[in-house]
A and B are shown apart, each in its own frame.
Chain A
């Protein structure tokens, strides 16, 4: 079988990191960083999501490129939806 067996140690480490980051994201929301608040929150969320995808969902260990392609293309098309919609909303008031 080509599927990976991840060690308990790694799993626990990821779990702890995720918990700590949840605390950090909640705490940093009360600190005034200006417009950076949103960016920090999203960066932390994305980092957490990446940890889950890569380790809990085994994407880091899989030899299968296809899974990575599927994940990346789904995110790409989501960004297309968001980006091209915003192309309208951010420029409407300029008219």
Chain B
């Protein structure tokens, strides 16, 4: 890198010493975030792999267990997350345009929507607890295979479905909780006016994370809630 731009760009307090300029720093952070998301794909991928195999093996029992999930709550939660993705996008846009007020509003909305998602998830989990659909010694699933009223559901296989359900939605919820933490931090700094059109990398990268968590749910919703609803 030539010397002159370094001298000019050093005025930006957010520039770290080992980068030549803001552009290089921003591109490095962005690539870092995308690589991190690649690891996240593989992390959830392990569970998707388990899900795929057991669903292939025990399809009728999985369909029955899936039917016991509340499709309304699941669909509402999907919509909540999609709305939160929109508010994140708008917050990033506000930062790009240097509108602090808007930034704060959209970040606050994102937080509210994130918490709403977790709240609805909590309601769903509580009802599973009451219905004894928690894997373990007390597990009990009553019902028959969809389309075959006289064929009872295999307890073990239904339990396997709920093991995966709790592992996957639990891991997803954990990511949401971390996301809520990150966005609280962002909200505080946005309030302080830290993110400007020149420097808002944390906002941008956290946005990428939030969208990723949204995408995981976009797949979880049909895979867990909609296995076979037609009968």
Contact = CB atoms under 8 A, between A and B. Distances in A.
A, B from the same assembly: yes
Interface in A1-54: 1-3, 5-6, 8, 11-12, 14-15, 18-19, 22-23, 25-26, 29-33, 37-38, 41-42, 44-45, 48-49, 52-53
A89 B56 contact: yes
B170 interface: no
Interface stretch (B10-18, B80-88, B118-126, B132-140): B80-88
Nearest to B36: A70
Contact of A19 (B27, B45, B79): B79
Interface residues of A, number: 49
Given A74-B37, A75-B41, A66 B31 contact: yes
A82 B93 contact: no
A40 to B, nearest CB: 9
Interface magnitude class on chain B: 35 or more
Interface in B91-121: 93, 96-97
Main DSSP-derived SS at the B contact region: helix
Interface of B: 23, 26-27, 30-31, 34-35, 37-38, 41-42, 45-46, 48-49, 52-53, 56-57, 71, 75, 78-79, 82-83, 85-86, 88-90, 93, 96-97, 197-198, 204, 207-208, 211-212, 214-215, 218-219, 221-223, 226-231
Interface of A: 1-3, 5-6, 8, 11-12, 14-15, 18-19, 22-23, 25-26, 29-33, 37-38, 41-42, 44-45, 48-49, 52-53, 56-57, 64, 66-67, 70-71, 73-75, 77-78, 81-82, 85-86, 89-90
Given A3-B26, A25-B221, A29-B226, 7 more contacts: A18-B85, A19-B79, A26-B71, A66-B31, A70-B35, A78-B48, A81-B45
Ordered nearest first, which 5 A-B pairs have the shortest CB separation? A74-B38, A41-B222, A29-B226, A15-B86, A29-B229
